[in-house]
Amino acid sequence: MDLEQLLPRNIQELKPYVAGKTISEVKKEYRLNRISKLASNENRLGCSPVVKDAVLRALQQIQDYPDPIAGELRKKIADKHGVKEEEVILAAGSESIISILCKTFFKNGENAVTADATFVGFFVQAGVRGINLKKVPVTSDYRFDIDTILDTVDENTKMIYIANPNNPTGTYINKNEYGKLLKGLPEHVLLVMDEAYFEYARSVSDYPNALENRPENVIVLRTFSKAYGLAGFRIGYGFADERLITEMLKTKLTFEPTTTAQFAAFAAMDDQDFIERSVETVKKGINRITGFFDSHHIRYADSISNSVLMILESEEEAVEFTQRMLESGVILRRVNAFGLPNCIRITIGTDDEMSHFEESFREIYSIQKS
């Protein structure tokens, strides 16, 4: 079998998403009892306790196909955000909605513009569709360069993708930059504002909630995977002009998200106390780790997300540090696939997990300095 003849060129050249190691993999490989998984931007508090009962209720319907538009949850989300139900779409995570966008709106020869250091899932889904990605370098402080992004748009550009806050950097575009983006956006270009980390960022004074200023060519993505702690259920949602949603529903896999995911998300939305506790845990953790880095003269990017980007001198140093931390039971995320080979993303964890990180860091740091 000749794969070169069998596969399209874009699939042959596509670099697949490589997930971080799981807790069970690390336990088995290194025979460790204490594991702190700070690699995947999950909510380390877990999820709201009300989710368990909701999932048990969902199991009573498991023999039936899920509601293809997640009607009850769709209405709940619409009511919460003051939009029409027809302006909401749900799928198996916001990455699935990105896939839907790529399948629905791009014609052959059209391109998308984004940063060279942003969510790798967008790179993968664009590659599957064979979309030409025009990647703009991030600034010296690891932020989206809005002026250059707008200058890069041409007559074949269909979409601009902005993760806000950005993954993996944790940085964000502010209200003025968002206004500049909207003002300079051609009518034929869709602007995707991926706000997966919205709950952590919403209290920042100059953070632009794109849902509050959403022209008809702006699409806003959100998720239940982060602050809500439902990453294992795979459920995300998006807001757009109802005409766009109508077209997106044509290319969505019919029966996603699952029944259990819909029930879990519906229940989780009612426990806002859990969300506030999750956000507060992250804020304290951000202050803790940045103070720790300051005391050890380690560079990092200012973050309003649930992770911090650690900046090292070289890719070799990042590889060595990540491996040594892994051997001590602390799972971190190298972000070379995101375009930053000398950087490491560290998810904010529980107090015990952050202590584990600090203890392991001090041990490795002292070895490197000796």
Give percent of the chain with pLDDT exceeding 90.
88
| DSSP conformational letter for 38 | -
Are 109 and 255 part of one and the same domain? yes
Last residue of a domain, one of 204, 238, 268: 268
**160 lies in which domain range?**
50-268
Q: Using CA atoms, how far apart are residues 153 and 133, in angstroms rounded to an integer?
A: 11
In this prediction, residue 262 carries a pLDDT of 98
**Residue among 117, 154, 112, 118 nearest 133 (CA):** 112
In this predicted model, what pLDDT tens digit does every residue of 257-279 receive, in sequence order? 999 999 999 999 999 999 999 99
| Per-residue pLDDT reduced to its tens digit, 6-44 | 888 888 888 877 777 788 888 888 888 899 999 999 999
Question: What is the arithmetic mean of pLDDT over 139-163?
Answer: 98
Residues 187 and 100 both lie in one domain: yes
Does pLDDT of 366 surpass 70?
no
* Statement to judge: residues 10 and 106 lie in one domain: no
Determine how β-strand 307-311 pairs with β-strand 299-301: antiparallel
Instruction: Give the CATH number of the domain where residue 12 resides.
Output: 3.90.1150.10
CA distance 205 to 210: 14
Summary count for the chain: helices (H), strands (E): 15, 13
Same-domain status, 355 and 247: no
Model pLDDT, residue 51? 98
| Residues 45 and 199 sit within 8 Å (Cβ to Cβ) | no
In tens, the pLDDT along 79-129 reads 999 999 999 999 999 999 999 999 999 999 999 999 999 999 999 999 999
pLDDT the model gives residue 84: 98
Q: How many domains does the chain have?
A: 2
Could you give the CA distance from residue 294 to residue 88 in angstroms, rounded to a whole number? 43
Q: Strands 236-239 and 88-91, how do they pair? A: antiparallel
Q: Say whether the peptide bond before residue 341 is cis (omega within 30 degrees of 0).
A: no
Q: Are residues 247 and 193 in the same domain?
A: yes
Q: 16: which 2 tokens? A: 């697949």
Q: Provide φ and ψ at 228, rounded to 5°.
A: -75, -15
Under 8 Å between Cβ of 326 and 332:
yes
- On whether both 243 and 278 belong to a single domain, the answer is no
- Which of 236, 268, 300 corresponds to the end of one domain? 268
Average pLDDT, the chain: 95
pLDDT in tens, 294-352: 999 999 999 999 999 999 999 999 999 999 999 999 999 999 989 899 999 999 999 99
Q: pLDDT class for 370, splitting at 50, 70, 90?
A: very low
Q: Does residue 364 share a domain with residue 322?
A: yes
Indicate the SS3 state at residue 37. strand
Token pair 């069998």: residue: 6
Tell me: do 58 and 174 sit in the same domain.
Answer: yes
Mean pLDDT of 126-146: 97
Q: Yes or no: say if 223 and 236 are a contact pair by the CB < 8 Å rule.
A: yes
> What is the pLDDT confidence band of residue 367, given thresholds at 50, 70 and 90?
low
Q: Is 214 found in the same domain as 100? A: yes
pLDDT of residue 68 exceeding 70, the answer is yes
pLDDT of residue 224: 98
Q: Which residues pair with 135 in a beta bridge?
A: 114
My answer on whether 169 and 70 are in the same domain is yes
pLDDT at 21: 77
Rounded Cα gap, residues 299 and 294, in angstroms: 8
204, 236, 268 - which closes a domain: 268
The DSSP bridge partners found for residue 334 are: 344
Q: How many C-alpha atoms does 272 have within 13 Å on its Cβ side? A: 2
Q: Which among 190, 145, 189 has a CA at the least distance from the CA of 166? A: 145
Shared-domain flag, residues 322 and 187? no
- Same-domain check for residues 171 and 316: no
Q: In what order do the strands lie in the sheet with 88-91?
A: 88-91, 236-239, 218-223, 190-194, 157-163, 111-115, 132-136
Which domain CATH number covers 137? Answer: 3.40.640.10
